[in-house]
Structure 1
Amino acid sequence: MTLFEMIIWSPSPEMFVIPGLNHPVRWYGLLFALGFILAQQVMYWIFKTEGKKQKNVDQLTMYLVIAVVVGARLGHCLFYNPGYYLSNPFEILKIWEGGLASHGGAIGMLIALYLYSRKHADQSYLWILDRVAIVTVLVGACIRFGNFMNSEIIGLPTGSDSGIVFARSAEDMFTSLDSRIEEVSFEKGGKIESTEAGKIPMTIHLEYKRTVKLDEANAKLFFETTLPRAIDRYYGVAEHIALPANQAVVYDTYERRGVQQADVAVLAIPRHPGQLYEALACVIMFLILAHIWYHHRSQIKTGFLFGVFMMMLWSERFFVEFFKENQEAWEADIPLNMGQWLSIPMFIIGLVVVIKCWGFTPKDKKAE
């Protein structure tokens, strides 16, 4: 028995389909939007508390949404695969195919807030950076939970019985291989034993459509030949499930209540939930920054909150990267991955700002 037992995670990335339009609403998009809605409400409260015009929050939100989306997309394209995207510039526009970089989003925000502050004499650049820092981590928490619902930005294998088995790719593989499969489900345990740490017995249960009748010869071909090849071929599947080496595939086919069923014994690979690590860290950072602002904003210099935010956010990102898969294969050939290299200058910026602000008690807050 382990402290945190293995969890099998296989939700659909689609929350529901809009009736009549046949358009799916995805968890990621909904949580992305929710993050900005929550951030906007908190900013209303901050502006009201500090006597600023609340109507400015709507303009500020528009600046931030555009900056984050454009900056994060350009950051992903230019930081991780510049050769491909510069050769195929129209691919940059395909944001629906995924690929957003938080470092790019951060740079986009810094530029957008500078432009915003120039239009508002009562809100200096550092003043607005301090306040936006509080809500930025709230948005980050929602986005990372959206990544978790999408089973993306996965962590490294834990090498133990604990962790998350991201089984969605295996579910998609089975329904793609055989359209007659109605439902795929998973449960812990099975008819095989593991001789490797970090590979845990798991059973994949297949339920076929009611009209299907399994032929023994075809079933043997599917489970013993097609399936092993598919696990290696389908994107992302081999990262989460495996078959015992040098052993025949263990499976059973049977009928229950007039419906054909099949059980396949595999080895699951639990991984670190890197998305949840970051989401939890963002919630903690929000509470810290909100506490400092609410109780101590009259004792700290403008810019201090922004500096603390930069130090916390990018140090968290640097260390969590040790538990996450690299986004690009070439990152395995460098001592730190791209996310970590990009986090170092961001942290240094925060450190410099904190040092400049440390121990300063503002005498006149009117300019802010």
Structure 2
Amino acid sequence: MIALYINWNFDSEIINIFGFPLKYYGLLFACGLLLCMYILKGIFKRENLKDSAHEALFIYGIVGIFVGARLGHCLFYDFEYYSKNILEIFLPIKVNQIGEIKFTGYTGLASHGGTVGLIISLYLYSKKYEIKYLKILDLIAIVAPLGATFIRLANLMNSEMIGSPTTMPWAFIFRRIDNIPRHPAQLYEAISYLIIFIIVFLIYKTKNIKLGNGFLFGLAITLIFTMRILIEFVKINQVEFEDGMKLNMGQILSIPFITIGMYFMGKNLIKNESN
């Protein structure tokens, strides 16, 4: 077997303007969100939902995702640090030991927290625009895996959330970390989420499949977090306290989402069988 190791040595910054960096993470995050909104515009039209509701969704979505993802990281992955540096939870800065303030951007975001934040913000959104809550969860579930694809590509550009060492011929050597061939776990997840997007989108587009509200939401989160659990086995732990744990924090936090997803899918299937 011929080794085709890929030397990965991208600088996470694209450009720095007067001390404010434009990073691949932010660019890919924004591109993914805009693409999702573009696809949702067509979906909203198909569902006879108002343009004003689609436009407002952008604000609700980005606030819910970002606030949830930030709090999720600070609470579940680095609570000890952020409990002593509360200001850094909310501001994109870091204060060193001599009191100097440096703009760093938000360096910690957790996908589980982002999911919870989005679910909560969509509840508020559904009340404001009088759309059934499960219906809007279904519509968002169509594009959510695509958004997750872009986030994992952003992680790849940052050389973060790297995989464990491997001798597989497609291994990546993350030069900014070390010189060890590793699983490109970010790419595994990105490809998985893209496939999930295609599956959920095609099911939605197939008119002869009758599904109740909540099924697509259940399907999407079940598939996404099942893949998250599986791929975590070829990742290195993100924080030290995970060392020695049979399941790391990402895997543990994925279990409730899978349970909820299976509940909504099962509820719909039972209902369809009884009709």
Instruction: Say yes or no: TM over 0.5.
Output: yes
Instruction: Note if 1:58 corresponds to 2:58.
Output: no
Residue correspondence of structure 1 range 228-247 to structure 2 within 5 A: 236=177, 240-241=178-179
Amino acid at match of 2:156: F
Q: Distance in 2 between matches of 1:315 and 1:336?
A: 13
Deviations 1:43-81 (A, max 9, x none): 100011111112211111110101111100100010112
- Against the structure 1 CA distance between its residues 25 and 83, is the aligned structure 2 distance closer, same or farther, given a 3 Å change threshold? closer
Say yes or no: does 1:103 pair with 2:14. Answer: no
Any gaps of 5 or more consecutive residues in structure 1?
Answer: 170-235, 242-268, 363-368
Residue correspondence of structure 1 range 292-311 to structure 2 within 5 A: 292-296=203-207, 299-311=210-222
Instruction: Please say if residues 203 and 209 of structure 2, whose CA atoms lie closer than 8 Å, have aligned partners that are also in contact.
Output: no
Q: Report the Cα distance in structure 2 between the residues aligned to 1:70 and 1:107, rounded to whole angstroms.
A: 10
Structure 1 residue corresponding to 2:126, chosen from 112, 117, 122: 117
Corresponding residue to 2:160 among 152, 161, 183: 152
- Cα deviations by residue, 1:219-259 (Å, 9 ceiling, x for unpaired): xxxxxxxxxxxxxxxxx4xxx22xxxxxxxxxxxxxxxxxx
- Structure 2 counterpart of 1:5: 4
- Residue 87 of structure 1 aligns to a residue in which SS? coil
2: distance between equivalents of 1:332 and 1:120? 45
Aligned length: 261
Query: Could you state the TM-score of these two structures normalised by the residue count of structure 1?
Result: 0.68
Given candidates 65, 69, 72, the residue that maps to 1:72 is 69
1:282-337 Cα shifts (integer Å, max 9, x gaps): 11011011001111476111111001011101101000100111111110121110
- The reply on whether 1:314 has 2:225 as its aligned counterpart is yes
Quick one: structure 1 residues 90 and 344, their matched pair in 2 at CA, closer, same or farther if it must change by over 3 Å? same
- Equivalent in 185, 197, 200 of residue 286 of structure 1: 197
2:239 match: 328
By percentage of residues, which structure has more strand? 1
Change (3 A) 1:83 1:14: closer
1:129 deviates by 0.3
The alignment status of 1:134 with 2:45, answered yes or no, reads: no
Cα separation, partners in 2 of 1:6 and 1:298, compared to 1, 3 Å: closer
Could you list the runs of 5+ residues in structure 2 that have no partner in the other structure?
A: 93-104
Percent identity over paired residues: 43
Give the AA of the match of 2:7.
Answer: I
The TM-score with structure 2 as length reference comes to 0.90
SS for the counterpart of 2:233 is helix
Paired amino acid for 1:133: A
Give the aligned partner of residue 95 of structure 2.
Answer: none
SS where residue 181 of structure 2 aligns? Answer: coil
Q: Distance in 1 between matches of 2:186 and 2:170?
A: 16
3-state SS of paired residue (1:165): strand
> Structure 1 299/345 Cα, relative in aligned 2: closer, same or farther at 3 Å?
same
Q: Contact (CA 8 Å) 1:300, 1:360: kept in 2 or not?
A: no
Superposed CA deviations along residues 13-35 of structure 1, whole A, max 9, x for unmatched, are 122456xx575421111100001
Alpha-carbon deviations, 1:71-95, whole Å to 9, x = none?
0010001011223222321121244
Given candidates 152, 159, 183, the residue that maps to 1:272 is 183
Contact 1:161 1:270 in 2 (8 A): no
Q: Could you tell me how far apart the structure 1 residues matched to 2:217 and 2:208 are?
A: 12
Which one has a larger percent helix, Structure 1 or Structure 2? 2
Q: How far does the alpha carbon of each residue in 1:251-274 deviate from its partner, in whole angstroms, 9 at most, with x for none?
A: xxxxxxxxxxxxxxxxxx100111
Q: Partner of 1:84 in structure 2?
A: 81
Tell me which structure has the larger Cα radius of gyration.
1
TM-align CA RMSD:
1.8
The 1:88–1:297 alpha-carbon spacing in structure 2 relative to 1, beyond 3 Å, is farther
Q: What SS is found at the alignment partner of 1:25? A: strand
For 2:173, the aligned partner's letter is V
**What code does the residue aligned with 2:87 have?**
F
